[in-house]
Amino acid sequence: MSKYDFKYLLQENGWLENVTVETDDNGIIKSINQLSSNSSENIGIPGFQNAHSHAFQYAMAGLAEYHPTTKSPDDFWSWRKSMYELALKIDPDQLEAIASMLYAEMVRHGYTHVAEFHYLHHDKKGKSFENIAEMGSRLIQAAKNAGINITLIPIFYQKGGFCKEATIEQRRFISNNIDAYMNLFEASKLLTLNKPHASIGFGIHSMRAVETENIIKVSNFRHDHIPFHIHVSEQIKEVEDSLHYLKARPVEWLSDNISLSKDYHLVHATHLVEKEINAIANSKANVVICPSTEGNLGDGIFPLRNYLSKNGNWSIGTDSHIGINPMEEIKLLDYGQRLTTNKRNTFSNLESGDSGFNALKTALQSGRKAMGNHHNSFFEIGKPLNAVVYSSEHPLLSSCSKKNLCNTLVFASDISMLKATIVNGNYIFNDGIHKNMGTIKHEFERALKVLEYR
């Protein structure tokens, strides 16, 4: 039994004051009690959900910013060539080391859950490992090393583009047919059994990377609210190619051929028309927006204001991990809308003008769905305690009223205000220290030295 005291604790209906949370030995919440007073300076909010991650790409964060001085464009497609070069080098030990470091950094920034969009399946020659889910097993172990919850999403990646064979650079990603993918999924699912920190999801890399009949088949295999993730409409060229080959835009095709629901997570969805925005919002599907990566790659800006006007659901992810701070992702998401619409009330709605609270609530609840968790309560008896703790001793927080607290955290906080991250009832990061950082950092540095990548 453990006790956690908070000056303020954020629930789905607002702030509770002077709260004690008690957990059992497994980190499950046994009670949430309000007191007349306590001496705690802690401010607690629910742990952030990172709904989109490619862990191996963390090794190249910051290394794709030398641009050609010729007239050749440097865009998503040229960046992708650099990413492929890295993907061809990494062995299982190195993947575990890189992912452990990344996930530890996520915890340091307040993430307690990550959805790993995993397509680095095979060995360097493109052959299956003896355990076909070997690389997935390393990601689950990395999450355990770092103390984060993981939803492993083994990705179906079949082709090199619309009506194109996969290239040699993509050889580590490819499942040639639906049976090969389902075998990989089942092997990956077995990895998550009896592991409280791990769960499973279905995933299609993109419309261009899988035959359309197989996209439908995978969707039909899905059951028990297992989440379904797919990249969609990230690039204008992708939309143009979809129109040429499928005679429909990507989201248009999905909504016409699949029964979209709250279990579906459309990653990026940057380039949409009104019909597609309506289709996603009406189906209660979710968009996963990754503002720092989308900005870095020059993808474009998701039409959030229009989408929110239709009560659309969204969550955040860090994708290539050029940024890992969830508050920065939310701010970038908001500021992109402000700069393109010249309006400041992106996250306000008819129920509440509290922008910070509204953003945190949607990012949490839709982010949980991306993990396969449909519980809407921020903190609930019978569920694990996953929380981010801020110190009210910071001048901006010590003088802040409850009314303005969420907005101060979202729009004016920095990482120095974050005091601790609690995952499944355990302090994984506390007072500037991650409990496993020494070993994780050593293994990460050794892996990158061998890779000779940085």
Q: pLDDT for 213-226, tens place per residue?
A: 999 999 999 988 99
Pairing of strands 228-232, 202-204: parallel
Fold of 2-47+379-437: Urease, subunit C; domain 1 (2.30.40)
79 vs 30, residue with greater confidence: 30
Q: What span, in angstroms and rounded, lies between the C-alpha atoms of 322 and 415?
A: 16
Asked whether the predicted pLDDT for residue 364 surpasses 70, the reply is yes
Give me 414's structure tokens. Answer: 């920095």
Cβ distance 283 to 264 under 8 Å?
A: yes
Domain ranges of the chain: 2-47+379-437, 48-370
Q: Around 215, how many Cα atoms within 13 Å sit in the side-chain half-sphere?
A: 25
Residue 364 CA to residue 367 CA, distance in Å, equals 5
The CATH superfamily label for domain 48-370 reads Metal-dependent hydrolases (3.20.20.140)
Mean pLDDT of the chain: 95
Q: Are 32 and 14 in contact (CB under 8 A)?
A: no
394 catalytic, yes or no?
A: no
pLDDT of residue 63 exceeding 90: no
In the numeric block, the tokens 């090969």 are attached to 180
Task: Report, as an integer, the average pLDDT of 184-195.
Answer: 98
- Please tell me what DSSP assigns to residue 255: H
Kindly name the residue from 54, 122, 268, 434 that is annotated as catalytic. 268
Q: What angle, rounded to 10 degrees, do the helices at 437-451 and 92-108 form?
A: 130
Catalytic annotation, pick one of 241, 263, 299, 319: 319
What pLDDT was estimated at residue 299?
A: 94
User: Rounded distance, CA 402 to CA 17, Å?
Assistant: 9
Cα gap 294→418, rounded to integer Å: 25
Q: Is 121 a catalytic residue?
A: no
454 has pLDDT over 70 = no
Note the pLDDT tens digit of each residue in 290-326: 999 999 999 999 999 999 999 999 999 999 999 999 9
Encode pLDDT of 239-298 as tens digits. Answer: 999 999 999 999 999 999 999 999 999 999 999 999 999 999 999 999 999 999 999 999
Q: Using one digit for the tens of pLDDT, what is the confidence trace for 433-451?
A: 999 999 999 999 999 999 9
Rounded Cα distance between 272 and 2, Å, is: 48
pLDDT on residue 440: 98
pLDDT, residue 349, reads 83
pTM, to two decimals: 0.97
**The pLDDT value given to residue 350:** 65
Q: Which run of H or of E encompasses 16?
A: strand 14-23
**pLDDT confidence of residue 147:** 98
| Between 72 and 195, the higher pLDDT residue | 195
